[in-house]
Structure 1
Amino acid sequence: MLERVEALEAGQKTILAKLDEIGKGIADGRLDNEKRFGAIEGRLTGIEAKLDARATKADLTPIETKLTKVQDAVDTRAATSDLNLLKGKVDALPTTTQLVLFAVAIFAAAGITRFFGH
């Protein structure tokens, strides 16, 4: 029985030693990750600074102005084409004179039919 207890204690010491090694490996990995993340954050900060320096608002203002002009031109063309379509439809409508003459022709045809009819 004593041998079994000693074997269990030896196994427990081996397990504890392995757990200590695992804990140390994890701690070392965290340190490595922190160093890597710090390096990545430094690079990102540098990239952000470069982007901020390149794309200032003064640089974007001419582009914004051009986009506004293009949008206005597109809106104007759309309105012009809509008006041209409407103008074509209105031009196809009969005039007042044509409507009056059509009504007179209907009444004349009715009168002639009545006069010569039964």
Structure 2
Amino acid sequence: MEGLGPDAIAKILNDKGIPGPRGQAWRGTAIRGHRRRGSGILNNQMYIGRLVLNRLVCRKNPVSERRVSRLNSPEQHVVQDVPTLRIVSDTLWKKVKRRQAAPRQRNATAGPGLLHM
């Protein structure tokens, strides 16, 4: 699946009948995640043998009674190296990070008011 985007990968996994997170269908967001929050397969540092705790704090909004998560500052993160969890090489991890950064750089140079689909 090299070179494919998260949505294409999710479609392939679903077509093959591979269950996604929590037994539901795969979605591109489960793979892509959110870079700053460290979510999604492409951002989970556990795959490079690094466990990051205390990334988020969850609170309940007293008005809506919904849980709201906020990103803790990096100083509050608890990071522990666990080499036995590593399944991705540093080379591949860095390649993914470069590819993730590339669209953001292209969008930043495209100018204001343009939609990027």
Bin for the TM-score computed over the shorter chain: under 0.3
Task: Tell me: higher relative CO, structure 1 or 2? Use CA pairs within 8 A at least 6 residues apart.
Answer: 2
TM-score of the superposition, structure 1-length normalised? 0.21
Structure number with the higher helix fraction is 1
Structure number with the higher strand fraction is 2
Structure number with larger C-alpha Rg: 1
TM-score of the superposition, structure 2-length normalised? 0.21
